[in-house]
């Protein structure tokens, strides 16, 4: 067994990664021809193994957290890494939820007849082999394994070095679930080394084995994967520059509750609000009490001139603040002119991830939803609902901000493609 934390010689690492690619391609063929019941059984067994393996997972996580803290990792990032009994139980329940959702494979998306008698059907199929490169959050190991299995894809996982021990412990439980259902353990593989060269090899596609790469992590990781991937498609998301807009018609109680929850429920998630926009038409009514509630919750505020005029003591926002994903209890605040002003601010500074409006005026809310071209637009609800589990997907790989293939929470259905099955009775083309 290799030393999980040690760098491998280039030749050895290349050979190991190539073997993983071949194993994944073979497993993908098994999954593509397999039945939904077997995949469901494997998912249920995975959930049970995660619960049974909780002591080992927590022990591994304690080592990772201790190392991360000693290295000076920021508190918000340590929170992403940290597991406890409740989070492990939530991980297991998430896998069970994926097991319970409708299996997407083989679904007939459309079917029609042509004048020449051809019967054409569009059928949902797996993508094949997916490579997922992620940071910090060990629950991604379970989520990604579950979603890829539900969608009939083999997957190669490469988690961050800061949570390698935890990821390996979770993967051990996943492997037990696969074995219990009679599926090859190569359906879900994990890179067992912290050597960064492994990422570089995945970016080459492993000799054509990987069909799709999904980066999940910070801006630097996503940029690297997008810039350096060669011969393999990439599905990723940029940072969550998330906005909450309080329209002049907003109910103050709703506005306060949503603004505080959107920012402070968990500041380290990509759906956490980073900018509060307030309609100038009634900012004097809305902003001071909402700002006070945010401050009482422990949030530091940085505002433009109009916001600071209404809230004494608010720090001055810089141009950089509007472009910053804080992932911390800090919120930028701007006063804007109506829905159009809010949409213009979001178009200039947003990342097309998630944006929300609080409004009692239905026409204004729908206008906002039409103008704001983000993957998720919410009306009178917290941006913290930007989550695949909250959408009923069971779990998610991430929130895709691209406009092709998949957008928003990436669940099992979003990890599929389709093919056409054309049935004839002997037709030939004139």
Residue 171 pLDDT exceeds 70: yes
Predicted pLDDT at 79: 85
Read off the tokens for 359: 């409004």
pTM for the predicted model, two decimal places? 0.83
Classified as helix, coil or strand, 184 is coil
What is the average per-residue pLDDT within 98-102?
94
Percent of the chain past pLDDT 70, that is, above it, reads 97
Residue 183 pLDDT exceeds 70: yes
First CA to last CA across the chain, in angstroms?
A: 62
> For 7-21, 86-100, 195-209, which range has the lowest pLDDT when averaged over its residues?
7-21
CA 79 to chain centre: 17
pLDDT tier, 8 (very low <50, low <70, confident <90, very high otherwise): low
Element holding 342 (H helix, E strand):
helix 338-349
What is the average per-residue pLDDT within 128-155?
94
pLDDT tier, 358 (very low <50, low <70, confident <90, very high otherwise): very high
Read off the tokens for 162: 């800061």
Predicted pLDDT at 111: 98
pLDDT tier, 265 (very low <50, low <70, confident <90, very high otherwise): very high
Predicted pLDDT at 9: 56
CA dist 368 → 30, 356, 358, 364, 378 (Å):
46, 9, 10, 6, 10
Predicted pLDDT at 74: 84
């Amino acid at each position: 067994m290799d030393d999980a934390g040690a760098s491998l010689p280039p030749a050895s690492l290349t050979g190991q990664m190539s073997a993983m690619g071949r194993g994944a391609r073979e497993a993908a063929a098994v999954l593509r021809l397999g039945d939904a019941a077997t995949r469901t059984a494997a998912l249920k067994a995975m959930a049970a193994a995660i619960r049974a393996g909780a002591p080992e997972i927590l022990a591994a996580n304690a080592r990772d957290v201790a190392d991360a803290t000693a290295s000076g990792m920021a508190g918000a990032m340590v929170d992403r890494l940290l597991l406890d009994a409740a989070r492990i139980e939530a991980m297991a329940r998430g896998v069970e939820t994926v097991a319970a959702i409708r299996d997407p494979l083989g679904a007939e998306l459309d079917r029609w007849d042509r004048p020449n008698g051809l019967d054409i059907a569009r059928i949902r199929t797996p993508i094949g082999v997916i490579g997922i490169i992620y940071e910090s959050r060990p629950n991604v190991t379970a989520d990604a394994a579950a979603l890829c299995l539900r969608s009939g894809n083999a997957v190669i996982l490469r988690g961050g070095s800061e949570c390698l021990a935890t990821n390996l412990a979770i993967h051990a439980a996943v492997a037990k679930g696969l074995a219990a259902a009679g599926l090859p353990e190569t359906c879900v593989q994990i890179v067992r080394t912290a050597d960064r060269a492994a990422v570089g090899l995945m970016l080459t596609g492993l000799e054509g084995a990987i069909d799709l790469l999904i980066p999940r992590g910070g801006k630097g990781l996503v940029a690297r994967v997008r810039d350096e991937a060669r011969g393999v498609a990439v599905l990723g998301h940029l940072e969550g520059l998330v906005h909450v807009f309080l329209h002049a018609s907003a109910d103050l109680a709703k506005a306060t509750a949503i603004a505080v929850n959107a920012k402070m429920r968990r500041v380290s998630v990509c759906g956490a609000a980073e900018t509060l926009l307030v309609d100038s038409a009634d900012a004097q009514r809305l902003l001071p009490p909402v700002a006070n509630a945010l401050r009482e919750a422990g949030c530091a505020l940085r505002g433009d001139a109009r916001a600071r005029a209404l809230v004494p003591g608010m720090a001055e926002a810089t141009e950089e603040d509007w472009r910053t994903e804080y992932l911390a209890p800090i919120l930028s605040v701007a006063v804007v002119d109506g829905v159009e002003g809010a949409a213009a601010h979001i178009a200039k500074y947003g990342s097309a991830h998630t944006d929300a409006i609080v409004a009692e005026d239905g026409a204004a809310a729908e206008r906002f939803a039409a103008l704001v071209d983000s993957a998720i637009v919410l009306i009178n609800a917290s941006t913290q609902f930007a989550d695949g589990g909250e959408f009923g997907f069971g779990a998610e790989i991430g929130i895709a901000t691209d406009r092709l293939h998949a957008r928003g929470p990436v669940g099992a259905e979003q990890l599929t493609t389709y093919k056409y099955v054309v049935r004839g009775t002997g037709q030939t083309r004139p």
